[in-house]
């Protein structure tokens, strides 16, 4: 994909670019947000690093890429973890910036960010990307911070500490120190006080002066001053204010067609996209529904009794409309749904089914988070169940916790769309369907069914660990009918081995289905 990289001047955004290139993407532009006033070094921002912003303009020359910059007009206004478009919020400056980049470079597909542990930042970048039809790439997400920092040092990134705000870090000593030199101190602070080695808790901020992507030159900080914010005996806070710097050329000819800096105006004309009013009239077939209720939960199954000629997408639309009507009779809505099973007659219809699903179940409909989901192909028509069947599991108590990561990362497969990796309700974690995708590439592993099974289990474990899940009690393994007997036995052996170290082996339910997503 062609990528615009969000850069702050720090080590994380630079290393994130290197990881993008490692996984086959192309960085075509840089984007940066700066304070409204040049004399201001640091803003009270929950989103952006601005210390050292004076030097970021040199990145365009060093990398030979266009750099788009915008002044931050907004303030932090929407503080909930989940973000929705909010006038005057600092996140909207990012939307204006990226929308401008996309208008200037229409081939841009994705956005790279250096998010490591902050759900607050990740969710806001994902929100903006979703609005602009861009893919969020967060290749540092959920990585072990000690290992990650070591990788940065080993990769050839030359960065200095430009701000310190942690017990054990002193402005007079550590500001301006190379990351490689201060690495042992950071690991000690992690051992003694639980400090974040990569500075994710605000312990420090860094400024990258050179890295392998700087093909044209390296930045030399000629003069700076130290600004002390706090001289507390417990935690001293200070940062470097760059006064003079220059780019030291690496002996390579500059690319004169790129490497320019473009300032983005505060307002960029928005395209007028009017949402179509949805009309759900449907007379061709009667929907069949079954509702099972307990004091705490509601299960709804819907299908069309006869095969129609409107297509699987329109059939799903009818079924979701009926499902919502039945939920409403229980004083519930999509936000109460924990899990959705989609059964389809043919995986060839997956794209249109997914598109229609996205129109019905949206982030706006689910303030607590969109449900988790699985999709498999089964011979519905032969059983008189049409082309698609929906099974919804909802809770009357909607105190659920949802994990929905749309960014592509090395952690676990992304869920780009209105379905989440997992939903926690009470003490039970409901996991979305997993297929054997390699997280950073989102491609199926190619070493056969056993390898796919292992990748599925590793992906599921990564998600479960995010919730602190202690044990697996039940797992359904869907196997394609294309597998022969030996391959099925290999799948079973892989599952047994994977869970073999646990005190209790979970109940494993094997189901043969016609086909799975991605073939």
Alpha-carbon distance of 511 to 519, in angstroms, equals: 16
Alpha-carbon distance of 106 to 185, in angstroms, equals: 45
Alpha-carbon distance of 207 to 177, in angstroms, equals: 10
pLDDT band at 519, cuts 50/70/90? confident
Task: List % helix, strand, coil for the chain (3-state, nearest 5).
Answer: 30, 30, 45
Alpha-carbon distance of 289 to 310, in angstroms, equals: 19
pLDDT digits (tens, 9 = 90+) for 217-255: 999 999 999 999 999 989 999 999 999 999 999 976 554
What is the model's pLDDT at position 428?
95
Question: Furthest-apart CA pair in the chain: how many Å?
Answer: 77
> CATH code for 2-263?
3.40.50.620
Domain ranges of the chain: 2-263, 287-513
At CA 108, angle to CA 103 and CA 111, rounded to 5? 110
Q: What is the mean pLDDT of residues 154-176?
A: 97
Alpha-carbon distance of 371 to 516, in angstroms, equals: 20
Is the whole-model pTM more than 0.85?
Answer: yes
Alpha-carbon distance of 334 to 260, in angstroms, equals: 47
Q: What is the mean pLDDT of residues 382-398?
A: 93
Of 199, 193, 201, the residue nearest 179 (C-alpha): 199
pLDDT digits (tens, 9 = 90+) for 309-346: 788 999 999 999 999 999 999 999 999 999 999 999 99
What is the model's pLDDT at position 503?
64
When the pLDDT of each residue in the chain is averaged and rounded to a whole number, the result is 93
Q: What is the mean pLDDT of residues 154-168?
A: 97
At CA 12, angle to CA 465 and CA 249, rounded to 5? 155
Q: Calculate the CA 135 to chain-centre distance.
A: 9
User: What CATH topology corresponds to 287-513?
Assistant: 60s Ribosomal Protein L30; Chain: A; (3.30.1330)
């Amino acid at each position: 994909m062609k990528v615009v990289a969000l850069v702050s001047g720090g080590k994380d955004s630079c290393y994130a670019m290197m990881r993008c290139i490692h996984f086959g993407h192309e960085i075509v532009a840089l984007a940066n947000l700066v304070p409204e006033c040049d004399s201001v070094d640091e803003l009270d921002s929950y989103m952006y690093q601005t210390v050292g912003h004076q030097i970021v303009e040199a990145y365009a020359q060093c990398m030979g890429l266009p750099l788009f910059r915008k002044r931050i007009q907004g303030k932090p206004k929407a503080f909930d973890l989940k973000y929705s478009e909010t006038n005057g919020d600092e996140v909207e400056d990012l939307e204006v910036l990226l929308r401008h980049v996309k208008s200037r470079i229409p081939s841009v597909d994705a956005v790279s960010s250096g998010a490591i542990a902050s759900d607050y930042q990740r969710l806001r970048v994902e929100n903006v990307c979703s609005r602009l039809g861009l893919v969020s790439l967060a290749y540092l997400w959920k990585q072990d911070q000690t290992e990650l920092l070591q990788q940065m040092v080993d990769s050839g990134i030359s960065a200095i500490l430009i701000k310190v705000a942690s017990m054990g870090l002193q402005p007079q000593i550590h500001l301006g120190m190379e990351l490689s030199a201060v690495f042992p101190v950071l690991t000690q602070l992690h051992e003694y006080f639980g400090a974040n080695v990569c500075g994710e808790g605000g312990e420090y901020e860094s400024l990258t002066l050179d890295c392998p992507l700087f093909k044209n030159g390296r930045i030399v900080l000629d003069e700076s001053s130290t600004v002390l914010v706090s001289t507390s005996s417990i935690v001293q806070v200070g940062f470097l204010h760059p006064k003079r710097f220059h780019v030291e050329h690496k002996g390579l000819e500059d690319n004169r067609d790129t490497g320019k800096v473009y300032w983005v105006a505060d307002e960029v004309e928005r395209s007028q996209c009017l949402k179509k009013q949805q009309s759900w009239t449907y007379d061709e077939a009667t929907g069949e529904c079954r509702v099972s209720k307990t004091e705490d939960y509601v299960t709804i199954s819907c299908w069309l009794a006869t095969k129609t000629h409107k297509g699987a997408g329109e059939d799903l639309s009818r079924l979701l409309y009926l499902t919502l009507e039945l939920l409403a009779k229980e004083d519930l809505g999509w936000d109460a749904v924990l899990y959705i099973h989609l059964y389809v007659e043919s995986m060839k219809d997956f794209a249109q089914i997914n598109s229609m699903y996205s129109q019905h179940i949206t982030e706006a409909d689910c303030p607590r988070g969109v449900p988790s989901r699985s999709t498999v192909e089964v011979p519905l028509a032969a059983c008189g169940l049409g082309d698609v069947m929906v099974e919804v599991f909802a809770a009357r108590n909607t105190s659920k916790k949802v994990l929905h990561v749309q960014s592509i990362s090395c952690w676990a497969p992304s869920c780009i769309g209105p379905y989440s990796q997992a939903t926690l309700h009470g003490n039970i974690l409901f996991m979305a369907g997993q297929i054997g995708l390699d997280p950073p590439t989102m491609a199926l592993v190619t070493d056969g069914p056993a390898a796919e099974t292992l990748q599925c289990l590793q992906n599921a474990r990564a998600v479960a660990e995010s919730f602190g899940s202690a044990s697996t009690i039940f797992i359904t393994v869907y196997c394609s009918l294309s597998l022969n007997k030996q391959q099925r036995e290999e799948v079973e052996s892989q599952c047994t081995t994977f869970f073999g170290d646990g005190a209790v082996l979970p109940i494993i339910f094997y189901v043969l289905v016609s086909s799975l997503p991605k073939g």
